[in-house]
Structure 1
Amino acid sequence: MILTDTHTHLYSEAFDKDRDEVIRRAVDNGIERFFIPAIDSTYTQAMMDLESDYPENIFLMAGLHPTHVKEDYKRELKHVEQQLKERKFHAVGEIGIDLYWDKTFLRQQQEAFRLQIQWAKEYRLPIVIHCRESFDEIIEILESEKGDDLFGIFHCFTGNLEQAKTAISYNMKLGIGGVVTFKNGKIDGFLDQIDLRHIVLETDSPYLAPVPYRGKRNESAYLINVLEKLSDVYGRSKEDIAKITTENSKEVFGV
């Protein structure tokens, strides 16, 4: 049984003391593929080092995270553009709009999101979307950019059934992680109405640890807990869900 964590920040400082052990625990649980979203230029070297240490397991993305769209966002975007020119990445992400913490840079976030979508199209790459308190703003841009060359993952999907169907209509898979195990997460109430072909698994570690680890540091090994919950939700074996969601990740990322 091979599992894919389609969204994990393994380069995060949260793993500096035990990164190798964290990866080994995940691999021991069958999680062998780790897709690594970018945040900003300050993490680029750490991401490259991680790939160098685990070339068979680590798959990198390039992008500017919406909460890091600040006064210097144009310089950061130039860094992303340069990276895409210089080497292969497996997605442009994570990108999007986040209005939870701060609405100051909404216009700049919209500009950065649109531009990075266009780069993804240019390089024929999927996008990985970060959406927080911004579903309508995200959809407005996806609507204007829709087409066969627009595809990817709605990372950490926490919306309702109607929003799930809307996201899927733009060629997006739904990234399902620890939130599905939360009592107040709500998505477990309708997820069985979404065909498994639209689902990929993720942890977003070190964030959003699933029950029973909620509130603690998340890690990729805990993807097993997400898998177990989806097995209950869909009434399918863990092996079936692992196989289908990993095939879905290959469809998105091309690897």
Structure 2
Amino acid sequence: MIETHAHIYDQQFENDRQSMLEKAWKSGIQQIWMPNCDQYTIPGMMQLAKDFPGKCLPMIGLHPCYIKEDFETELQIVEQWLARYPFLAIGEIGMDLFWDTTFRAQQEEAFLTQCQWAIQYDLWIDIHSRNAFWETVSLLEKIANPALTGVFHCFTGTLNEARRAVDLGFMLGIGGVVTFKNGGLDQVLPHIALEHLLLETDSPYLAPVPYRGKRNEPGYLLLIAQRIADIKQISVEEVLTITTQNALKLSQKTLKI
């Protein structure tokens, strides 16, 4: 398994990070991909990349929920890191209009800027899109560059949205919401080929059933894979094989495996 989106540098893992990671490796996880949030999450993320080379792989980017008046300074820091380290991807970036729309224009500008960096450095992008799917798609259409690809992380949208993301050349990151009784993905995934899906937990958030409401961790990834298998009426082994191949294919853009 490849865990394609986990904030394992988060303070919620401060007291048991080593044991949490050991459980993840024992569960069959080969790699953990780490999205960045802002300048303050970089040190912890990069330390994990140093401690677990080839296993904990960092991205770099400015998360839309962290975009404020000083977003240009934050972007400068991202750009400086991009120039000196071979990151897996640019992320997580995107649009979030759920909590606050005050900085919508700044979110759009930051997203467009970081997408251009992805094209420049031949990296894929890890997209955070909450209450903003079509707004994000509109920005991707504005860029209109077929080289720009990546994943819509924590996808929880409609079948129409899923098909549009796939048509744009993006994967769908499926996490703990797929196990929720009213999550809605049971109506979407039967119609989307497994070749378009990635597994993720978004740890420490959105833990799958039966851990819903508690801290999430990468070791729960198999629960997500099993639920996808149940929905699609296939074996969990097939889900693991294909989604791992999907992740490796995406990472080839960066790692040249």
2-structure distance, mates of 1:104, 1:147: 28
Q: Which residue of 1 aligns with 2:112?
A: 114
2-structure distance, mates of 1:164, 1:190: 8
2-structure distance, mates of 1:83, 1:166: 32
Structure 1 residue identity aligned to 2:171 = K
Aligned-pair distance for 1:170? 1.2
Matches within 5 A, 1:1-255: 3-254=1-252, 255=255
Structure 2 residue identity aligned to 1:227 = A
Aligned-pair distance for 1:190? 2.1
- Total equivalences in the alignment: 253
- Give % identity: 47
Q: Secondary structure at the match of 1:31?
A: coil
Aligned-pair distance for 1:250? 1.1
- Cα deviation, 1:2-47, whole Å, max 9, x if unaligned, reads x011000000001010001111111111012100000000111101
Structure 1 residue identity aligned to 2:109 = E
Aligned-pair distance for 1:219? 0.2
2-structure distance, mates of 1:192, 1:126: 26
Q: Is the 8 A contact 1:90 1:253 kept in 2?
A: yes
Gaps in structure 2 of 5+ consecutive residues: none
Q: Is the 8 A contact 1:157 1:175 kept in 2?
A: yes
Structure 1 residue identity aligned to 2:215 = R
Q: Is the 8 A contact 1:146 1:170 kept in 2?
A: no
- Cα deviation, 1:96-148, whole Å, max 9, x if unaligned, reads 00011110000000000000000000001000000001112101101112332
Q: Secondary structure at the match of 1:109?
A: helix
Structure 2 residue identity aligned to 1:184 = N
Structure 2 residue identity aligned to 1:169 = D
Structure 1 residue identity aligned to 2:216 = N
Structure 2 residue identity aligned to 1:127 = I
Q: Secondary structure at the match of 2:117?
A: helix
2-structure distance, mates of 1:13, 1:71: 25
Q: Relative to structure 2, which stretch is displaced further, 7-16 or 187-196?
A: 187-196
2-structure distance, mates of 1:133, 1:56: 34
CA RMSD across the alignment: 0.8
1-structure distance, mates of 2:188, 2:99: 28
Aligned-pair distance for 1:218? 0.1
2-structure distance, mates of 1:167, 1:143: 11
Aligned-pair distance for 1:211? 0.4
Q: Secondary structure at the match of 1:41?
A: coil
Structure 1 length-normalised TM = 0.98
Q: Is the 8 A contact 1:91 1:120 kept in 2?
A: yes
Q: Secondary structure at the match of 1:231?
A: helix
